[in-house]
Chain A
Amino acid sequence: MTVAAATPAAAPLDGREVRRLTRRSAAARASTTWWTRVEDAWSTIAYVAILLAVAGGWLASVRDEISVREPVAAAPLPASAAALVALVVVVAGLIGLLDRLGPISASPAAAGWWLPLPADRRGLLRGDLVRLAAGCAATSAVLALPLAMVLPGATPATVTAAAVTAAAAAAGLVGAVALAQTRGRTGRLSTVAGAVAVLASTTAALLAIAPPLARAAGELPAVGGAVPLAAALAAAAVAVLLLVAADRGLGRIGAGALRTLGSTSAFASASVFSMDLRDLGRALARPPRRAPSRPRRFRPARGPGRAVVLADLTLMARSPWQLGQLLVAVALPVLAVRTEGLDRLPVAGAVGLVLGWLLAAVAVGHPSRQGHAMPALDRLLPLSPGRLVVARAVVPAVLLTVVCGCGGLLIGQSGDDLFAWTVLALGAVPAWTAAAVRGAYRPELDWGGPVVSTPMGIVPAGAGATLVQGVDVGLLGSAPILVALLVDGPPLAVLVAVQWGWATAVATAALTYLAHRGAAKG
């Protein structure tokens, strides 16, 4: 047959038939049986049920503990306002993730073999839309269940309504973002969602530290509480409408966009399965669309050490996501210690502080992660591993001084120990600086060595010890300030001294070890 002369005589396959043919061909040699699938489904349900029971019990104990303690802050941020902010952040995160990954995309194989076919694109892509919506809905319902179970006056009906609402909201978000994608309006949603999340967090933190504003927020009508079943069903109906509208527009999505988004999704999926969080960050990061309008000439870079510092500073200045993370990192501890209910739990302050500073350490480790990804660039500079590590620690130290200092100021501003809390918080800077650099340069997981079977699947032996590199130093070096938060007392001078000495010692040990290992070798 010559290509030009041939004419189709049989009926061409539509999109659904192409999917089916592909699936059947693959299934013909698959080793997975129906029984295996039933077993997998059963074990998954069992794990989820156990996790739900544990999470529900823990949340109930937290609720009980809050109820028996006396209020601490005079005018804390109302719990309903904090819950609303948390909801905004979660929704923004989901929208950002959906936008970055499509939400509809084509795997590299599908892009190469399905998209050029004359089969209807809607039929080819519909299965992905349905699977994505169902997955997000199920996950949201499962996450909402323990929260709904500990709400005051929870009944089976209210819990069911909450789960249905959460599922409908998630499926509706998938439908809305997919609908925007079919109309070519995605691509920048993740930036907007990120900005909204940062704005909501920082606004809430500002409200929390200003008693008049917090009181004003408390007088607003509270949101939240039990959702009527009718409202849940209405939300489900809206979600279905959005999904149907998105489905009808699937044929409008171009192959070029599906191919590009599919590559991003494949990269992100591979990072998740290989437990490489650094690669996951790279997969989800949006590369700059344009070269910077004002290129730097790096004139002050006299010597390789300064060159590294200036390059890191430039990279951070051009990384709006990381700068947004730093703002959220400042807001988190404040919200933890100044939110109604949480303010009665000293452990909440400690957890908020650790989470905030961990987020900051991850953000300021961005230049080091870039260096780890391209070790050849580091090797071009005439720097010993020790000097390279020191140079890489400069920018994180400067930025973490701001974050930790703000954290101490905001935590201490409600009492008479503002200065002591600030100095105490600044004492943790060396530890989190070392955590940022150590986390960025942690070794890859060794998938070629022995593996361990876990409920989540096969993982390399020692995976946990590798993945916590960075966090470990931060936590260890922050022990004194965490103790101060847990005992809920004013920081003594001796504790401040211990914090500084201890964090410096831990950081020095960690960075020295990293230098000996050879940071540029990865």
Chain B
Amino acid sequence: MPDSPDAALLRADELTAGHDDVPTSAPVHLHLPPGRALAVIGPNGAGKSTLLHTLVGLLPPLGGSVSFDGEPVDERRASFRRDVAQVLDDDAFFPALTGREHLLLTARAHGVEDAEEVVAAELAAFGLEERADALPSRLSSGQRRRLALAAAFVRPARLLVLDEPERRLDAEMRRTLAERVAAERDAGLAVLFASHDAAFVTTAADEALLADEECVLLPPEAVPATMAGTEG
């Protein structure tokens, strides 16, 4: 990123991510300041999800360091969880809670005032108004994905982390979500996401990190050609 590393909200130095002592990608060096969006791109198995999990403290780094707001990342700290909104694994819901209740739980746990209004607005933004009071088992796969994504927007945050946000969304929703992410970025939110969607990346990201045998930063305009090359 072009900004000074000192201004970074999220910073990784020579970070090696992986499972059970086996690295899944080359060491990563990144610094993400507020108001910037970084996309992580690369083919399947390049270690994008593992990298995101490591950056938010769900996996221990195999090497290097990662810090948030100047402190080593530790997701056990309530302040870290208050500042970082993440949608990584979205396949599980409380079976007896409706979609609206899931979002209200998230908003209220974050102390959002007028939680019901905020939730109603996000339900509308994600096209879930009519299905808001349905149980998750009665929602389609795409609707459950929208619900999981909406949870990241009903609460305050300083960093938004999304793993393949375009997954299971229709074209219209992908475009709307990309524009929403870009708007949040412009309002000062730091955004980090992994994606296989070149259009999403060019709309929402300021820069892209190609995770492969060597991790390199790319400008957004280089993303479509790069993705076509790496992902066939």
Contacts and interface: CB of A to CB of B under 8 A. Distances in A.
A118 B113 contact: no
Contacts of B115: 10
Nearest to B59: A256
A9 B92 contact: no
A8 B189 contact: no
B115 to A, nearest CB: 7
Interface string A1-34: 1111111111111000110011001100110000
B146 interface: no
B149 to A, nearest CB: 12
Interface stretch (A107-115, A204-212, A418-426, A443-451): A107-115
B104 to A, nearest CB: 8
Contacts of A252: 76
A109 to B, nearest CB: 5
Contacts, number: 136
A3 B81 contact: no
Interface string B9-20: 000000000001
B58 A10 contact: no
Given A12-B110, A26-B94, A109-B95, A118 B78 contact: yes
Contacts of B84: 116
**B interface, how many residues as a size bin?**
35 or more
A9 B155 CA distance: 11
A3 B57 contact: no
Contacts of A3: 85, 152-153, 155-157, 160, 184, 187, 189
A259 B92 CA distance: 11
A254 interface: yes
A255 B58 contact: yes
B108 A13 contact: yes
Contact of A25 (B57, B101, B109, B155): B101
A522 interface: no
Given A3-B153, A3-B156, A25 B111 contact: no
Given A3-B157, A7-B156, A10-B111, A113 B105 contact: yes
Interface in A83-138: 107-109, 111-113, 116-121
Contact of A112 (B59, B90, B118, B183): B90
A10 B112 contact: yes
Contact of A118 (B34, B110, B183, B184): B110
Interface string B82-98: 10111001111111111
A108 B160 CA distance: 21
A4 B112 contact: no
Contact of A119 (B89, B109, B151): B109
A113 B102 contact: yes
B4 interface: no
Given A8-B113, A10-B111, A29-B96, A116 B187 contact: no
A5 B187 contact: yes
Contacts of A254: 57-58, 75-76
B145 to A, nearest CB: 12
Given A3-B155, A6-B156, A8-B156, A113 B187 contact: no
A289 B153 CA distance: 37
Residue of B112, B118, B153 with most partner-chain A CB within 10 A = B112
Contact of B157 (A4, A13, A108, A251): A4
A6 B109 CA distance: 14
A431 B4 CA distance: 74
A9 B96 contact: no
A405 B102 CA distance: 60
Contacts of A8: 110-113, 156
A255 to B, nearest CB: 5
B174 interface: no
A103 B117 CA distance: 39
Given A9-B111, A18-B109, A118 B20 contact: no
Interface in B60-94: 60, 75-76, 78-79, 81-82, 84-86, 89-94
B81 A113 contact: no
A256 B52 CA distance: 12
B159 to A, nearest CB: 9
Contact of B108 (A4, A10, A290): A10
A288 to B, nearest CB: 9
A118 to B, nearest CB: 4
B158 interface: yes
Given A8-B110, A121-B76, A109 B155 contact: no
A109 B93 contact: yes
B184 A4 contact: yes
Contacts of B57: 254-256
Given A2-B183, A22-B94, A9 B189 contact: no
B76 A116 contact: no
B121 to A, nearest CB: 7
A10 B109 CA distance: 9
B96 A13 contact: no
Contacts of A107: 92
Contacts of A26: 94, 96-97
Nearest to B118: A1
B121 A11 contact: no
A170 B160 CA distance: 43
A253 B58 CA distance: 11
Given A13-B109, A117-B81, A254-B57, A4 B94 contact: no
Residue of B21, B92, B96 with most partner-chain A CB within 10 A = B92
Given A4-B34, A18-B109, A108-B89, 6 more contacts: A2-B187, A3-B85, A7-B156, A12-B110, A26-B94, A118-B109
Closest 10 CB pairs of A and B: A108-B92, A8-B111, A9-B113, A12-B111, A26-B96, A4-B189, A118-B82, A6-B156, A256-B58, A4-B188
20 contacts: A2-B184, A3-B184, A4-B188, A5-B188, A6-B118, A8-B156, A9-B112, A10-B113, A10-B115, A11-B111, A17-B109, A25-B96, A25-B105, A111-B89, A113-B94, A116-B85, A117-B81, A118-B81, A121-B76, A256-B53
